[in-house]
Structure 1
Amino acid sequence: MKYLLFFTICLWIEAGFAQSKLPVIKATSKGVSINDGGYLDKNSWTLSPKIRPDVFTAERSRKAKWVTFYTDIDSIRVKVKPGTRFNFVVLLNGKDSCYTQIASAIPPENKSQNNIATHDTIPFTLTAYDAICVKTVINNTDTLNLDFDTGSWDFRLTRDAILKKTKLLANQPDALAGKAKPNYNNLNKVFKLQMGKSVWTNPEIVATGLTAYEMDGRFGWNLFESKTLEINYDQSLLIIHSKPLKIPKGYVRSKLEIIRSFVIAKGSFEIEHKKYSGSFLFDTGSEQAVVVDSTWVSQQNFPRNLKLLKSSVLHDPRGVGYETKIVLVPALKINGFELTNIPTLILGSKNPVGFMINYLGDDVLKRFNMILDFKNDYLYLKTNKLTNLKYRESS
């Protein structure tokens, strides 16, 4: 989702480029910095004259915001609203036209489907490492186990799974024979991906080096944008509703935030009658219970005398290690529900996502059946049969 390149050339987009006079900015270097809604990422985009258009998908927001492209000598500032696209040209070195589009992560509303309500069900298995494992079939032939990871986006397959379990490298016989290094940027096309009865046509597939333990890859929450998603741990089902639904009794609602395309909700610790409130990124791809940000710990004057369970090293999706310690926290409240004696991992260094945020992993999240309304951005929680299970790191 973040700075993804979409290689499918849409005819109506091409027509738009051909028929209207587009804004032009100049550049003498391929590196571009982007300020997306106040978050500046330096040299995060590479100009490419060969991709027409080269699509930058802005971080997901239901509010209008400004996105600015900075080349080494010029810039353009665009107001992005849900469902909008803006086309322009970057003229590289005075000769190469780089056709570029800034798109909202929220697609335009499909009015033809406004009165059609659908409900798709995807069965899953909760593994011993708390991965939401979904059997996935690619191109009607290759079967993989993918983790549903609310801390991720789109489809990610591990390089090992691509090499050993799919035909996506059939166009590279030397790589399959071990005579050459596989080029994971040149995979055979995925024309169909199926999970349960849900089908994705021509999905973008990205290779990754890391995912949940024993999984072949992962898929993210944004695949259900503007829909309502149920995660039912009691029945081991993901249920996708095309429209918001009537919420069953027992669920408690709170507002859901999307910050830098991460799903985030409010929560608080309670220690010795004092409350420590913060924002928590929902991360079903993590087997941890809770992870707290080192900067947040410092700003909140979070207690330093909590019982130490162990010290460890946590790896991010890039494989970078971060020294951590796990302490026992007396109480955690989410949506009014209270969990007690929570093993909580305190990061010992800078947060890998680049901004201050805490995390709820699946060792906590699995204790709730969840409804995620990505149309109106609401979270609904209800305790389930896993609520009183022992935590992985509690001993």
Structure 2
Amino acid sequence: MKSLIYPLFLLIIATQFAFAQEKLPILKTDKNTISIKEGNSDYKDEWTIAPEVKSDVFVTQRFTGTKIITFYSEIDSISFTVKPNKKYDFIILLNGKYKAHTQINTDSKQNPSLEPKLFYTRLTKTDQATDTIPFTLGIDNRIHMKGKVNYSDTLDFMFDTGASSCVITSSLINKKVKINLDGNQENTGTDGKAIVGTSSKNTIEINDLKWENVSLLSIDYQKPSFDLVLGWIAFEGKIIEIDYEKSILIVHQSLPKLSTEYSKLDFKLIEGIPYIKLKLIINGKVSESWFDFDTGSNGTLVVGQKFAKEHFLNNEMKQIGTITSVGSAGKEIISNLVMLPKLKIGDFEMYQIPLSIQQKEIENVEHNENIGNKILKRFNAVIDFKHHHIYLKPNNLFYDQMLKN
């Protein structure tokens, strides 16, 4: 009798397990990306479905008490009221047939899957629809603002559209700024990947604006011309106007009326960074690709060796020198400096542009193409982070010599 009961017992357990699996909540979708709302942060189409993974885990931000997590698609949604250090399983059903087993993990010791969204508030009440931040265009061709971190003395912030995070220079920690490093994560720079320290729940103040619950990366920049990097995510969902003639950055809630002098370009986010499409023209031959729109770069134009080989750029233009640069990972990049005959940005053409061609492809960095602020400063820009458009208009710096500074 025992030999008959034992297999029957296993069969019952297996059936119950299968039944329990089938009873998991299901979210339906016809797209391979899902949106997530975590507390007040809304991440649209930022979670890619992976049916091939045994369990796709979403790690929440650290929190106390309870929090509502919602996964939603174009046709369905599912919500969980979660507590710290718990796991919540469900299934995402793609096109009615592909099952992606997904888990929400609230383990406070693990690194969150997504950075928290940043929202600013005004320190003084006003009825104005816009917010204005004065800046200085430094001799390094970067945008510099004055601000504070955790109620510190005044610090130098560099506004960087080529950064999807906010960063503090490591040498300032617990000297000029009180920071608690409570984690680490992988950071991708122009020179590769590196593990850096992180700090959560910081406060930033710039002019009359205040950001709370800010996560900061700690990077050991060598001889930086700034104290902190303010990434574009500080204005996510906003429309920002960069006016180099008036030295002000204006934050709009809706697109302002623009003159016909502006040229409209689409941009797309690649690994969290806005990229625009440019045309490099050499002897009538056009090489077109997406370039990182990078106000944090003090250079002109950069292409990787892979791009150079694919478009036959090596030895195609006269070399005028070599450049050595160092990225956030601390690695040297050696590039050949050549003179590009023509560059087309939207409706505008520029001539004799210094172009850096990296001698070697950078390991673990797929997208090496970059347009820096030595070019971008020549255009007043309106960047629509709501609808992914950039509007450019030449300003009084347009005809400044490229090699002068």
Is the TM-score greater than 0.5?
yes
Which residue of structure 2 aligns with residue 365 of structure 1? 376
Aligned-partner SS, 1:202:
strand
Q: In the TM superposition, what whole-angstrom CA distance separates every residue of 1:92-150 from its partner, at most 9, and x where no partner exists?
A: xxxxx942786698899xxxxxxx97311111111111121111122333211011111
Which residue of structure 1 aligns with residue 106 of structure 2? 99
Q: In the TM superposition, what whole-angstrom CA distance separates every residue of 1:10-32 from its partner, at most 9, and x where no partner exists?
A: xxxxxxxxxxx9879xxxxxxxx
2:268 corresponds to 1:268: no
Aligned counterparts of 1:200 and 1:107: Cα–Cα separation in 2: 7
Which residue of structure 2 aligns with residue 244 of structure 1? 255
Aligned counterparts of 1:391 and 1:330: Cα–Cα separation in 2: 13
| Conserved 8 A contact 1:85-1:102 | no
The verdict on how the C-alpha distance between 1:281 and 1:163 changes in structure 2, with shifts beyond 3 A counting, is same
The verdict on how the C-alpha distance between 1:106 and 1:143 changes in structure 2, with shifts beyond 3 A counting, is closer
Q: In the TM superposition, what whole-angstrom CA distance separates every residue of 1:48-84 from its partner, at most 9, and x where no partner exists?
A: xxxxxx99x99x7x6576244988x6446998759x8
Aligned counterparts of 1:218 and 1:162: Cα–Cα separation in 2: 14
Q: In the TM superposition, what whole-angstrom CA distance separates every residue of 1:342-377 from its partner, at most 9, and x where no partner exists?
A: 111111222467223410011111111100001111
Which residue of structure 2 aligns with residue 140 of structure 1? 151
Aligned counterparts of 1:276 and 1:391: Cα–Cα separation in 2: 21
Aligned counterparts of 1:142 and 1:70: Cα–Cα separation in 2: 51
Aligned counterparts of 2:207 and 2:357: Cα–Cα separation in 1: 37
Work out the number of aligned pairs and report it.
320
Which residue of structure 2 aligns with residue 168 of structure 1? 179
Pairwise CA RMSD? 4.0
| Conserved 8 A contact 2:239-2:251 | yes
1:281 CA displacement: 0.6
Aligned counterparts of 1:290 and 1:243: Cα–Cα separation in 2: 31
2:262 corresponds to 1:280: no
The verdict on how the C-alpha distance between 1:240 and 1:186 changes in structure 2, with shifts beyond 3 A counting, is closer
2:134 corresponds to 1:123: yes
2:385 corresponds to 1:385: no
> Which shows bigger deviation, 99-108 or 128-137?
99-108
Which residue of structure 2 aligns with residue 223 of structure 1? 234
The verdict on how the C-alpha distance between 1:185 and 1:362 changes in structure 2, with shifts beyond 3 A counting, is closer
Q: In the TM superposition, what whole-angstrom CA distance separates every residue of 1:365-395 from its partner, at most 9, and x where no partner exists?
A: 111110000111111000011111122478x
Gaps of at least 5 residues in structure 2 are 1-22, 27-31, 59-69, 89-103, 120-126, 183-195
The verdict on how the C-alpha distance between 1:320 and 1:80 changes in structure 2, with shifts beyond 3 A counting, is farther
The aligned amino acid for 1:366 is K
Alignment of 1:1-395 (within 5 A): 66-68=48-50, 74-75=55-56, 98-99=105-106, 118-168=129-179, 190=202, 192-210=203-221, 213-302=224-313, 304-351=315-362, 354-392=365-403
- Taking structure 2 as the reference length, what is the TM-score of the superposition? 0.68
Give % identity. 26
> Which shows bigger deviation, 334-343 or 140-149?
140-149
The verdict on how the C-alpha distance between 1:208 and 1:67 changes in structure 2, with shifts beyond 3 A counting, is farther
The aligned amino acid for 1:254 is L
The aligned amino acid for 1:130 is N
The aligned amino acid for 2:156 is N
Aligned counterparts of 2:282 and 2:131: Cα–Cα separation in 1: 42
